[in-house]
Structure 1
Amino acid sequence: MKAFLVLLLGAVLCFDSGSSLQCYNCMKKLSNSDCMMKETCKSEEQACKTDVIRIVGVLNVINKGCDSSCRPSYQDFKLGNWNISCCSTDFCNVNTASSARYSYGMAAGIAASMLWPFLNNRL
């Protein structure tokens, strides 16, 4: 009888509770630290969405939340860019800085690789 109860308890602990996805939610915030309000998604088909409009590399407009039709995309404009990312684990849309680090790191890498021959060449 004890073995049956232990197996039953193990099965209950491994059973998926069916809990809904949880995401951070905010609209038109200028700082990621202002986007820490938590939201429980209403449907299992929803994903956590992060929408960042970066203007001149200085100003960010951030939107986060649950979205049933989230499609990742990236658009580059003359004065900035628009990045939409989607994820599907609890509070996975916590950070928006990774996209900024990636674009600045890529620009620094390209600039360094172009300048290296000139800086390395001793006249």
Structure 2
Amino acid sequence: MKLFLLVVLGIALCTESASSLTCFSCKDATSNIHCLGTTKCSENEKYCLTSYSTTGTGSDRSQRITKKCSAFCPTIDLNIGIAGVATSCCETSLCNISGASSVKTSSTILTLGVLASLACILRMGF
């Protein structure tokens, strides 16, 4: 009897996971620890999507994490110095537990931007 129940439970679990995807979900969370809620994806949503964005530098830096089900997988990896966005996708249930590739604000890009702006201002002044 116990063996029969284990077999039925195993079949139910395998059937459930085969027919639908479950992803971790959150919207604009400040930390990955706040993204442990789950959601069952609709039939057309085949990916678990994680989007990680950051703005500012140093102690003024803030980050936001969004996780959800998605019908498509956008590949975004953008860093403009003081702001950045990165996404990652996966295709198995609860595969998006970790954050997307971390986006770091680049002090080199920020410094080059400031120097270019300063050069432009000095050139216009003379």
How high is the TM-score relative to the length of structure 2? Answer: 0.61
Letter in 2 for 1:29: A
Query: Percent of aligned pairs with the same residue?
Result: 26
Matched, 1:99 2:110: no
For 1:20-45, what per-residue CA distance to the aligned partner results, in whole angstroms no more than 9, with x for missing partners? 11100001111110010011111154
Q: 4+ runs of 1 displaced by more than 3 Å?
A: none
Q: Return 5+ residue gaps in structure 1 as ranges.
A: 1-8, 105-123
Instruction: Please list every run of 5 or more consecutive structure 2 residues that lacks an aligned counterpart in the other structure.
Output: 1-6, 106-126
Q: TM-score, normalising length from structure 1? A: 0.62
Q: Structure 1 residue aligned with 2:76, among 47, 69, 73? A: 73
Which structure 2 residues correspond to residues 1-123 of structure 1 after superposition, within 5 A? Answer: 17=15, 18-56=18-56, 58-96=61-99, 99-100=101-102
Q: Distance in 2 between matches of 1:81 and 1:103?
A: 7
Would you say the 8 A contact 1:20–1:44 is kept in 2?
no
1:9-60 CA-to-partner distances (Å, cap 9, x unmatched) read 8xx96xx623311100001111110010011111154200001102236321
Taking the aligned partners of 1:85 and 1:62, their CA distance within structure 2 comes to 11
Question: How big is the alpha-carbon RMSD for the aligned residues of Structure 1 and Structure 2?
Answer: 2.7
Count of residues in Structure 1 that have an aligned counterpart in Structure 2: 91
AA in 2 matched with 1:99: S
Structure 2 match to 1:114: none
